[in-house]
Amino acid sequence: MSEEQKLGKKKKPKGCLIVILFFFVIGAIIAGTQAGQQTSETGNKSENVILDVGKFSKISTDELISIMGEPASLVENEYASPKGTVYPSKSYYYSDNKYQFVVIDDKVITLHIDLNNDPIKYKNEKNIFSMFGINPSDIIVKVADTGFALRYESVTENIDEFWINNMDSSEKKINNIQIRYDLTYYDTLPRIAMSISEKTDIQTRCQNGVKSILKSPSSAKFPNITNWYIGKDKEKILVQSYVDAQNGFGAMIRNEFQVTFSSSGDTVTSLIMDGVEYIK
């Protein structure tokens, strides 16, 4: 008689143990999946898209109405660009004037979002983009951050500018947003982000070029990078700064200069110092 029989115990079939373990494993997997789904759902709720602003980029009037319906009001006007070009424009208002779509040449070029009556809360800058369905591009550049305003250019392939022009960063509330889809109507192009090495290279080349036209290159003193403007868009790289150097009489004078490169940075297309154009 075996020890198990003596003690009045029965052996559990091995097959039964395998089945039990199998169900424990399956249960753990299901529980984990459900937990993941709950986390995902919670995450989605915290990242709700208020309005997918990208889908309105340069769409026609008919496409706008098919998405938003008939406007609450329509205002026809004329828009004058900074350089004086006048365009007939139409503004389509929705949701008690919360959304204003500006249409020129039968395409939406700007969207104004007025949240003054119902400000929205945000967690951080990344959260702001997600709330409006934006996945920022690799070349996005922040051009303003004052605590009362945030401004970005080259935001996505379809959004040239995303500008929060009324906010409370201490309370993390947004009151007003402007999205521009086509900056050419504003007589400009969206700026593109530049790496530190790219800016340093451009700065060094500008210094060498400016020195070559000074009376006393060895006396040249350039400011630090905070007193340089270096901006890049799809057509050019523009540099503006100044240099203190001796003139022909040995007196130190300040010379303001502007250098323009091709967008690749390979070629200098213009060099102007104190109003005199040396390269054009």
pLDDT higher than threshold 90 for residue 175? yes
Q: 3-class DSSP state for residue 128?
A: helix
pLDDT higher than threshold 60 for residue 107? yes
Buried b (16+ CB within 10 A) or exposed e, 149-163: ebbbbbbbebbbbbb
The set of residues, in sequence order, having a beta carbon less than 8 Å from that of 187 and lying 6+ positions away, is 81, 82, 83, 85
Please give the pLDDT value at position 19. 41
pLDDT higher than threshold 60 for residue 24? no
Please give the pLDDT value at position 114. 96
DSSP class of residue 232 equals E
Work out the number of other CB atoms within 10 angstroms of the CB of residue 271: 21
Please give the pLDDT value at position 117. 85
Query: Average of pLDDT values for 85-95?
Result: 97
Query: Average of pLDDT values for 34-38?
Result: 43
pLDDT higher than threshold 90 for residue 20? no
With 0.75 as the threshold, say if the pTM is over it: no
